[in-house]
C-alpha cells in the first residue's frame, strides 16, 4: 500500500506508516529532516501516482484563526488566504481513496466545511494542549482514552500549562501551553506533528484500510 504524507518535512508521520509496512513518501518544499523516501517539491507533481492514502498538513499561516486579524483592508493578505483555501480544497478532492487533512482551528471550517474530529496531542500521550482538526475521507475517527476504564491502556496524559500573572483575567492569572515557550519566529518547530497522534494514525488507519481490502 502506498501513502503520501503531504506538506511534511519532519518525516514523523511518514516513518510511522513505514513502520506499519507502507510504501510511504513524504513531500514538502523543504528537505526531509529524517532520511527516507521524500519528494522535495510541489505535492501536485506526484499526487496522482496511485496512492491509497494521503495525509496532508497544509501550512496554516493564512488559515489559522490568528491570521484573520491581518486580512481586513489587506488585499494581498486576503489573496494569500484565498490561495491557501484553494490549496486545501484541491487536496481534499484529490483522486485518492483515503484522505486526512490536518490543521488548527481556522478558516477551513468557515469556507469549506467543519472538521470531522478535533483532538489534542495530550489525548495520545504528548502533554501538549493544541486543538488539532481533522477532515477525513473514508477514514474513521481516531480512538483515544480520556477515561481509565475505556481501554486497557490509558493513552492520554495531563496537558502541561505554564501559569503567569495577567491583568486581563478576573483571577489575575492566565495560562498558556508549553508550546508558548517556543515563542515567535519558531513556527517551524511549533508546526511539527506529534508522535503520539502519528502512531495512532498509522495503527488505526492501517487496520481500517486492511480490513476494507479483505
Q: Is the pTM of this model over 0.95?
A: no
Domain holding 170, by residue range, is 2-213
- Count of helix runs (H) and strand runs (E) in the chain: 5, 9
Q: Which CATH number fits the domain that encloses residue 121?
A: 3.40.50
pLDDT at res. 64 = 83
Domain total in the chain: 1
pLDDT at res. 72 = 74
Nearest residue to 200 (alpha-carbon basis) of 120, 130, 138: 120
pLDDT at res. 141 = 97
pLDDT at res. 128 = 85
Q: Mean pLDDT, consecutive 10-residue segments, the chain of 214 residues?
A: 98 98 98 98 98 97 74 83 96 98 95 97 89 97 72 54 57 55 50 88 98 84
Amino acid at each position: 500500500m502506498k501513502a503520501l504524507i503531504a506538506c511534511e518535512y519532519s518525516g514523523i508521520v511518514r516513518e510511522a506508516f513505514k513502520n506499519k509496512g507502507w510504501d510511504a513518501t513524504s513531500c514538502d518544499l523543504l528537505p526531509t529532516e529524517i532520511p527516507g523516501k521524500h519528494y522535495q517539491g510541489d505535492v501536485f507533481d506526484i499526487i496522482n501516482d496511485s496512492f491509497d492514502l494521503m495525509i496532508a498538513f497544509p501550512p496554516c499561516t493564512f488559515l489559522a484563526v490568528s491570521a484573520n486579524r491581518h486580512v481586513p483592508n489587506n488585499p494581498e493578505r486576503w489573496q494569500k488566504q484565498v490561495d491557501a483555501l484553494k490549496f486545501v480544497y484541491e487536496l481534499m478532492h484529490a483522486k485518492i481513496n483515503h484522505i486526512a487533512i490536518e490543521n488548527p482551528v481556522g478558516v477551513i471550517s468557515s469556507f469549506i466545511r467543519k472538521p470531522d474530529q478535533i483532538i489534542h496531542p495530550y489525548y495520545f500521550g504528548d502533554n501538549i494542549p493544541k486543538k488539532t482538526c481533522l477532515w477525513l475521507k473514508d477514514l474513521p475517527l481516531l480512538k483515544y482514552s480520556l477515561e481509565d476504564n475505556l481501554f486497557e491502556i490509558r493513552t492520554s496524559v495531563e496537558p502541561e500549562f505554564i501559569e503567569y500573572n495577567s491583568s486581563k483575567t478576573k483571577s489575575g492569572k492566565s495560562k498558556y501551553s508549553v508550546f508558548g515557550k517556543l515563542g515567535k519566529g519558531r513556527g517551524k518547530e511549533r508546526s511539527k506533528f506529534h508522535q503520539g497522534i502519528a502512531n495512532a494514525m498509522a495503527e488505526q488507519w492501517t487496520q481500517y484500510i486492511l480490513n476494507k481490502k479483505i
